[in-house]
């Protein structure tokens, strides 16, 4: 029997949004049998995932949690192709034990996430969300603002996204400092390397996080580190919700240690917690990479990764 005579592998699309009319979907249908598409608009639960993936050969996934028990219930799963960068929602050890290939799409999100980060910084410094809300209610009072040029920016992690943020902010006249214990030489000579996170926050006007979760699962930005921060610092997180102790962040905002914060990711999503009560906090619903251009590229890459891993090119 040749490959054309074989049954197409069964694929589930569990990510909460996928362009069903785009070229990526057309190519996926050409090579595979799409047996499920998440049209709920929400993130699927582990209980639902187990049932949905039962009998599937591959999955186009988002940030839903694909745990060992989910994989066990899936039974025939061979490939998890993630639309996006982070893999902390997938039990990689369980996948390895079961011989399941796990792929992601690290290139496409780099530019939009870097742009989103810089947009959040501008919005905080210029009070744009506050002005927008106040004017709509008839309040035309003036708030103190800050100039970006001349600020010292501390970047935790200078991979694809962190280095992109650094380049954009250096063009705006910022001094760039970073902490990254894994980076190799080759970063711009004008950028300064901090030896510890404590050293980085002590001298930063702006702190932005672009690293993966800690192996321990504990937050990087917690009470002790925040106590070392320069008073009036603003903090941005477009990386991982698990990196922040949100209660400690609330306390630092309450005390004035932190002047403002902007977050796109949270420990629990959708987020309804205490940070929402602070007017100096900007929140976005985990959408930093969600531009039309990047989204299409990620979907194309995810489908390519899936087809390649399943070896169903025809």
d(CA 259, CA 206): 10
**Annotation marks residue 269 as catalytic:** yes
Is 286 a known active-site residue?
Answer: yes
Comparing CA positions, the residue from 235, 284, 283 lying closest to residue 258 is 235
Residues 303, 108 contacting (CB under 8 angstroms): no
CA distance 268 to 233: 25
Q: How far apart are CA 128 and CA 89, in angstroms?
A: 33
Q: What would the two tokens of residue 118 be? A: 């810089």
Bridge partners, 264 (sequence order): none
* 271 half-sphere exposure, CB direction, 13 A CA radius: 18
SS3 label, residue 224: helix
Reduced to 3 states, what is the DSSP secondary structure of residue 114?
Answer: helix
The residues, ordered by sequence, that sit 6+ positions from 18 with a Cβ below 8 Å of its Cβ are 24, 25, 37, 38, 60, 83, 299
**Annotated catalytic residue: which of 240, 299, 300, 301?**
240
Active-site position among 269, 277, 293, 314: 269
Nearest C-alpha neighbor of 102 from the set 88, 119, 121: 88
Can you tell me which residue has the tokens 């996204």? 161
- Of the residues 78, 177, 286, 295, only one is catalytic, namely 286
DSSP state of 142: -
Q: Classify the C-alpha dihedral 228-233-236-241 as positive or negative.
A: positive
Catalytic residues: 240, 269, 286
């Amino acid at each position: 029997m040749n490959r054309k005579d074989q049954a197409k592998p069964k694929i589930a699309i569990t990510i909460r949004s996928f362009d069903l009319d785009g070229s990526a979907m057309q190519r996926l249908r050409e090579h595979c049998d799409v047996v499920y598409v998440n049209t709920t608009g929400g993130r699927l639960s582990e209980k639902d995932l187990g049932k949905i993936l039962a009998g599937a050969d591959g999955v186009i996934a988002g940030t839903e949690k694909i745990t060992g028990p989910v994989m066990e219930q899936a039974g025939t799963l061979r490939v998890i192709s993630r639309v996006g960068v982070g893999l902390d929602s997938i039990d990689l050890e369980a996948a390895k034990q079961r011989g399941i290939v796990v792929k992601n799409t690290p290139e496409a999100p780099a530019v939009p996430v870097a742009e989103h980060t810089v947009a959040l910084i501008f919005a905080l410094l210029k009070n744009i969300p506050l002005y927008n809300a106040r004017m709509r209610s008839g309040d035309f009072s003036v708030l103190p603002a800050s100039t970006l040029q001349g600020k010292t920016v501390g970047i935790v992690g200078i991979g694809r996204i962190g280095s992109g943020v650094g380049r954009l902010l250096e063009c705006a006249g910022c001094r760039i400092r970073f902490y990254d214990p894994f980076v190799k030489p080759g970063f711009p000579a004008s950028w300064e390397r901090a030896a510890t996170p404590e050293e980085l926050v002590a001298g930063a006007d702006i702190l932005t996080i672009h690293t993966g979760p800690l192996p321990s699962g504990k937050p990087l930005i917690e009470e002790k580190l925040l106590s070392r921060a320069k008073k009036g610092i603003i903090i941005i997180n477009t990386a991982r919700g698990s990196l922040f102790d949100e209660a400690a962040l609330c306390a630092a905002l309450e005390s004035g240690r932190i002047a403002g914060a902007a977050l796109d990711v949270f420990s629990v999503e959708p987020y309804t917690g205490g940070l929402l009560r602070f007017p100096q906090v900007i929140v976005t619903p985990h959408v930093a990479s969600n531009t039309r251009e990047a989204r299409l590229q990620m979907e194309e890459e995810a489908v390519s990764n899936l087809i390649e891993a399943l070896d169903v090119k025809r």
